[in-house]
Structure 1
Amino acid sequence: MKFKFRLAYYMFGLLLGAIFVVYFLGAKAESRDVEFCYLPNCRALKDLRSKPISYSEQAQAVLSENWISLDDIKLSMKHGDIDFSKSNEPYKNGKIYLIEGKTTQNEEIIITMINYTDRVVLEDIKKK
């Protein structure tokens, strides 16, 4: 068989396989809220989002100042970056995580959270 026919068969099979993958994986992602978290930052943020959140007195005081809202915290927990050089260390029977994020006014913030096995505590919020 000539090379151009082998190439045509290969390209046809590759096209069918690509359509199959896009159709089924695209439908799966649209039907459910599916995330593909393989990187450490994404996995740690997903773990923090999956647990109930409680607030320390210091965090409640910052939230009462009205320069930041709970929506800003939730967005930072979804799209923020974890500083792993200062995170994932034992702290008060849990592990501490420092999340760098932004508010809706585009101010940079640093959120300190303590990750326990059954819950997450929002410890502190600071402007960067």
Structure 2
Amino acid sequence: MKFIHRLGYYLGGFSIGLIILAFFLSGKKTSCDYGPNARTTKNLSQKVKLYSEEALTTMRTFEMDTTMVSDMIRYGTVNFSESDTKTESCKTYILENSFKEQNFRLQIKNCDSIATIESIVPFKND
């Protein structure tokens, strides 16, 4: 069999497979969160959030609401080197993101069903 025929069969089967895959995955809430940052931010953003008094004070100072903080969590970057991921019960994550041209560092305690935002601190990039 010539190479062009083999290539045609391969591309035909590949395209049929893509169509079948698109059909089965359409309409479902599927996502490809394979990286550690994506898994962590997805996990935190799906939980019920509680806010400490310190976090609420910072939110009032910088005129943030809970929707903006949720977006900061969803699109933030987890600083794993400063996070405490070794504890068994509740892990503490440090997320970094910006809001209104200001960089913020969020400290979030991630328990089984609740994520507690312990602090929101402005910082400058080094």
* TM-score bracket for this pair, using the shorter chain length: 0.7 to 0.9
- Trace 1:1-12 onto structure 2 (pairs within 5 A): 1-12=1-12
Q: Give me the whole-angstrom Cα distance separating, in 2, the residues matched to 1:3 and 1:62.
A: 65
| 2:71 equivalent in structure 1 | 75
Give the counterpart of 2:102 among 80, 94, 107: 107
Task: Note if 1:97 corresponds to 2:93.
Answer: yes
Deviation at residue 97 of structure 1 after TM alignment: 0.7
Query: With structure 1 as the length reference, what TM-score do the two structures score?
Result: 0.80
| 1:51 equivalent in structure 2 | 47
Give the counterpart of 1:42 among 38, 45, 68: 38
Q: Give me the whole-angstrom Cα distance separating, in 2, the residues matched to 1:21 and 1:8.
A: 20
| 2:61 equivalent in structure 1 | 65
**Comparing 117-126 with 78-87, which one deviates more in the overlay?**
117-126
Task: Note if 1:85 corresponds to 2:81.
Answer: yes
Aligned residues: CA RMSD: 2.1
Q: Give me the whole-angstrom Cα distance separating, in 1, the residues matched to 2:38 and 2:53.
A: 28
* Distance change (3 Å), C-alpha of 1:127 and 1:2: same
Deviation at residue 90 of structure 1 after TM alignment: 5.7
Count, aligned residues: 122
Q: Which runs of 5+ in 2 are unaligned?
A: none
SS in 2 for 1:7: helix
Q: Percent identity?
A: 27
* Distance change (3 Å), C-alpha of 1:11 and 1:116: closer
